[in-house]
Amino acid sequence: MATELPKAFEPREAQKSCLELWTKLDIFTAKPSQGKPPFSMVIPPPNVTGALHLGHALNNTLQDILARQHRARGFDTCWIPGTDHAGIATQAVVEKRVRDLEGKTRHDLGREELVKRIWEWKDQYGSRILEQLRGMGCSCDWSRTRFTLDSTCAAAVRRTFFNLFKDGHIYRGKRLVNWDTQLQTSVADDETFVETVKGGFWTFRYPLVDGSGHIRFSTTRPETMLGDVAIAVHPEDERYKSWIGKLVKVPLAGREIPIIADALLVDPELGTGAVKVTPAHDRNDHACGQRNNLPMLNILNPDGTLNNLCGKYGGLDRYVAREKVVEDMEALGFFEGREDRDIELAHSDRSKSPIEPLLSDQWFINMAELAEKAMDAVRDGRVKIAPTRYATTYLDWLGEKRDWCISRQLWWGHQIPVWHVRCDKALMEAKLAGRADIFWREAPEGGFHLCGIEDLDENILGPQHPLVRDGDVLDTWFSSALWPESTLGWPEKTDDLGKYYPTSVLSTSRDIITLWVARMVICGLYNTGHIPFHQVYIHPKITDGFGETMSKSKGNGVDPLDIIERYGPDALRFQMAMMATETQDARMPVSNVCPHCDALVPVKQEHMYMRTKKLACPGCKKTFRPGGPWPAADAELITAKQASDRFEQGRNFATKVWNATRFCLINLEGYTHGELKQADLALEDRWILSRLAGAIQGIDQALAQFRFSETIKLL
């Protein structure tokens, strides 16, 4: 039986032969008809626009460990892979491509053509990340691969929306939303980030209409004066008590507005003690407007230009208008001065452009009842979150019970299945009587909203009353919130759904506890009456050696494929599991790989965010530029890849396993495989087997508590 392995461990050869063998044997396909107990997971679906990064490498390594452990223990293991259509990100990529190559906008192409182009792009590039996961050795059930826009998932999305609409949980209303002027869509609070930028703090005066004086106020956004509807002061501020109720004039708009008292909006100790109120373009002002029954004047177009309510400023970009407004107020004698200030400004996570608060008609889910049920699932232990501290994040966010804005002004995604029509109620009742697949109600703007499980014929009520479909698509998080049940075939009663739902474990990042985890519990409970998963494991975050988040733009981002190429997939996986400690954040020192001599050159903090700096390799003395995106002008410089010497440990461990196995195999001359009998074993053999049994027991216990780093130490 003696077998001899090559002397040197070659990760690429091992990877190739393993992938071929696994495919040939089809050992990762789950079989619900087997009598084995189930163990199931769904992969957090990466954006179809994406490429593998260390976050994917970490999370999928940990999931793969759980999948392989349960498969080895005799479970019918179902680990479902898939990708997310990523509405905003994907449309942005293709729109930019069309703009760069053809000089056209999506409106030049039209909805049908743009969606066709995006599908073509997805078919060409969409499988990239799944192939990368295969290369990492992930033991997913590839036969069950899902996509959030495929027919199976689409059916689940359609039925969920219909049921929520019918049960009164979905409504349309005008609310203040985060508006991305570049992509021209609303984005969620969780899809924004705050960045400190250099800005200004301008002080102006508005004259009182009765001629008795002026009231001073300051603002960081002078252009919003064109939408002012009031000046607010504190009711106990002695400076302004007698002015409450008086009118002031907005000079550039020619509009008279009142001075009002609002103790919640105004702090009399700050600034001038007076605050301009623009309810349609500021969250605090919006709340003030609702409290005081003020009008809501929207002055912005979707592209960030001022609209026709702004007179001569209409059509100007908001930043151009800002300068013009300041100039005109100064010319009129109402400008008092400007200070330079650092401003905390919200930006869209997708386009990186500044967010504008905008009053807009959107579709919402009322969260009051739904959120409470999802909170109960964690409180009573049906869903267990580890580490337990993250249960607080989950409960605190759901406890706010903020309605969920589910509409996006995009063309790529699940188009909202609602049609609008204006006609008599009697006609609706006569034409749609007995139709269980259609539900309708009166629309806030007049007429009726119809929701259908299937697409509706625009002439269903007759050609004189054509139906007009809502143009928005659903928030991508809506479809991904159905991921556990939709991937298993819900709303159909499939064998997969019966065997593998609820799923066993969800492994994910803390960044999406609110965006995804909480919403999956909400939708799972609503759709099936059961939780979507029993356990949630929140894995750690990998930072560089200085605690900075890894990012290509900083020049400290490590591409897992570079690690696999340099050290092999086993080294990558070993180190990922080793770093998965309960402290959550793990630091990994990053080095640039000299493109000339292959030496590692440590990344220093001063290297971050550099764009043109040349680095010299201490060994070969040749220059290169550190990793990160670079302008074309620097094309003569070779860009370094990133790596970390931490992966040496994993490569060394894999080599030791290889060498130990090779030693055993070449010493099996004359051995015939059979059952080991304890009585025939020498003391040292029984000792070895006892150590093995102890390790297996310890590993099972550690993995049951998601202590992956401890597992590696035991190995």
Q: Are strands 38-42 and 76-80 parallel, antiparallel or unpaired?
A: parallel
Predicted confidence at residue 27, as pLDDT, reads 92
In order of 7, 101, 373, 435, the CA distances from 656 in angstroms are 12, 52, 51, 68
d(CA 619, CA 598): 10
Q: Domain for residue 494, yes or no?
A: yes
Binned at pLDDT 50, 70 and 90, residue 607 comes out as low
Q: Are strands 230-233 and 274-277 parallel, antiparallel or unpaired?
A: antiparallel
What would the two tokens of residue 118 be? 């995006």
Non-local (6+) Cβ contacts of 683 within 8 A are: none
Helix (H), strand (E) at residue 570: helix 569-578
How many degrees, rounded to 5, is the angle at CA 532 between CA 129 and CA 187? 60
Extended strands (E) in 168-307: 170-180, 185-187, 192-207, 214-219, 230-233, 247-250, 255-261, 274-277
Extended strands (E) in 539-596: 541-544, 585-588, 591-593
DSSP 687-704: HHHHHHHHHHHHHHHHHH
SS3 content of the chain, % helix, strand, coil (to 5): 40, 25, 40
- Is the pLDDT at 224 greater than 90, yes or no? yes
Q: Domain for residue 693, yes or no?
A: yes
Q: What is the pLDDT of residues 650-707, one digit of tens each?
A: 999 999 999 999 998 988 888 888 887 888 899 999 999 999 999 999 999 999 999 9
Number of domains into which the chain is organized: 4
- Is the pLDDT at 285 greater than 70, yes or no? yes
Q: What is the pLDDT of residues 119-168, one digit of tens each?
A: 999 888 878 888 889 999 999 999 999 999 999 999 999 999 999 999 99
d(CA 173, CA 475): 16
373-387, 512-526, 547-561: lowest mean pLDDT where?
547-561
Helix (H), strand (E) at residue 18: helix 11-25
Q: What is the pLDDT of residues 301-321, one digit of tens each?
A: 999 999 999 999 999 999 999
d(CA 230, CA 245): 10
Q: Indicate if 286 and 372 belong to the same structural domain.
A: no
- Is the pLDDT at 628 greater than 70, yes or no? no
Binned at pLDDT 50, 70 and 90, residue 554 comes out as low
Q: Domain for residue 641, yes or no?
A: no
Q: Phi/psi at 375 (nearest 5 deg)?
A: -65, -40
Across residues 562-590, what is the average pLDDT? Answer: 90
Exposed/middle/buried for residue 171 (C-beta within 10 Å: 0-12, 13-18, 19+): middle
- Is the pLDDT at 555 greater than 70, yes or no? no
In order of 17, 110, 368, 531, 697, the CA distances from 104 in angstroms are 47, 10, 43, 46, 62
Predicted confidence at residue 89, as pLDDT, reads 86
- Is the pLDDT at 3 greater than 80, yes or no? no
Note whether 191 and 347 are within 8 A (CB): no
Q: Indicate if 205 and 269 belong to the same structural domain.
A: yes
Q: What is the pLDDT of residues 351-393, one digit of tens each?
A: 888 999 999 999 999 999 999 999 999 999 999 999 999 999 9
What would the two tokens of residue 666 be? 């070449």
Binned at pLDDT 50, 70 and 90, residue 606 comes out as low
Helix (H), strand (E) at residue 713: helix 708-714
Predicted confidence at residue 636, as pLDDT, reads 61
pTM: 0.90
Better pLDDT: 346 or 608: 346
Predicted confidence at residue 638, as pLDDT, reads 74
CA 583 to chain centre: 23
Across residues 496-505, what is the average pLDDT? Answer: 98
Predicted confidence at residue 337, as pLDDT, reads 95
Give the residue from 295, 318, 352 where a domain finishes.
352
Q: Indicate if 447 and 489 belong to the same structural domain.
A: no
Predicted confidence at residue 677, as pLDDT, reads 84
Predicted confidence at residue 187, as pLDDT, reads 87
Q: Domain for residue 605, yes or no?
A: no
Q: Give 535's strand partners.
A: 384, 505
Closest CA to 638 of 604, 668, 671, 614: 614
Q: Indicate if 484 and 520 belong to the same structural domain.
A: yes
Note whether 179 and 360 are within 8 A (CB): yes
Q: Indicate if 177 and 147 belong to the same structural domain.
A: no
Q: Indicate if 331 and 385 belong to the same structural domain.
A: no
Supply the CATH number for residue 47's domain.
3.40.50.620
Amino acid (1-letter code) at residue 264: L
Supply the CATH number for residue 219's domain.
3.90.740.10
Q: Indicate if 48 and 110 belong to the same structural domain.
A: yes
Q: Domain for residue 77, yes or no?
A: yes
Residue 17 three-state SS: helix
Counting residues of the chain whose pLDDT is more than 70, the rounded percentage is 96
Q: At what angle do helices 560-567 and 128-136 cross, to 10 degrees?
A: 40
Mean pLDDT computed over every residue of the chain: 92
Q: Indicate if 204 and 335 belong to the same structural domain.
A: yes
DSSP 114-166: HHHHHHHHHHHHTTHHHHHHHHHT----GGG-EETTSHHHHHHHHHHHHHHHH
d(CA 287, CA 552): 39
CA 76 to chain centre: 31
DSSP 328-378: HHHHTT-EEEEEEEEEEEEEETTT-PBEEEEEEEEEEE--HHHHHHHHHHH
Counting residues of the chain whose pLDDT is more than 90, the rounded percentage is 76
Q: Phi/psi at 145 (nearest 5 deg)?
A: -55, 135
Q: What is the pLDDT of residues 26-36, one digit of tens each?
A: 999 999 988 89
Q: Indicate if 197 and 346 belong to the same structural domain.
A: yes
d(CA 223, CA 241): 28
Exposure on the CB side of residue 46, measured as CA atoms within 13 A: 21
Q: Which of 175-189, 487-501, 615-629, 653-667 has the highest mean pLDDT?
A: 487-501
d(CA 427, CA 417): 21
Across residues 478-492, what is the average pLDDT? Answer: 97
Q: Give 663's strand partners.
A: none
d(CA 489, CA 535): 21
- Is the pLDDT at 473 greater than 90, yes or no? yes
Non-local (6+) Cβ contacts of 157 within 8 A are: 414, 474, 478, 479, 482, 486
What would the two tokens of residue 280 be? 């349609």
Across residues 600-612, what is the average pLDDT? Answer: 67
Amino acid (1-letter code) at residue 261: A
Exposure on the CB side of residue 28, measured as CA atoms within 13 A: 24
Count of H helices and E strands in the chain? 21, 31
- Is the pLDDT at 553 greater than 70, yes or no? no
Predicted confidence at residue 92, as pLDDT, reads 87
Q: Domain for residue 365, yes or no?
A: yes
Predicted confidence at residue 635, as pLDDT, reads 55
Binned at pLDDT 50, 70 and 90, residue 75 comes out as very high
What would the two tokens of residue 467 be? 């139906």
Q: Phi/psi at 304 (nearest 5 deg)?
A: 90, 5
d(CA 693, CA 689): 6
Predicted confidence at residue 461, as pLDDT, reads 95
Q: Indicate if 465 and 511 belong to the same structural domain.
A: no
What would the two tokens of residue 587 be? 């630091």
Q: Domain for residue 459, yes or no?
A: yes
- Sign of the Cα pseudo-torsion (251, 257, 260, 263, in order): negative
Q: Domain for residue 636, yes or no?
A: no
Better pLDDT: 35 or 74: 74
Q: Indicate if 450 and 385 belong to the same structural domain.
A: no
d(CA 482, CA 42): 11
Whole domain around residue 704: which residue ranges? Answer: 649-714
Q: At what angle do helices 518-528 and 368-379 cross, to 10 degrees?
A: 100
Q: Indicate if 389 and 403 belong to the same structural domain.
A: no
Give the residue from 429, 459, 475 where a domain finishes.
475
Predicted confidence at residue 608, as pLDDT, reads 59
Helix (H), strand (E) at residue 11: helix 11-25
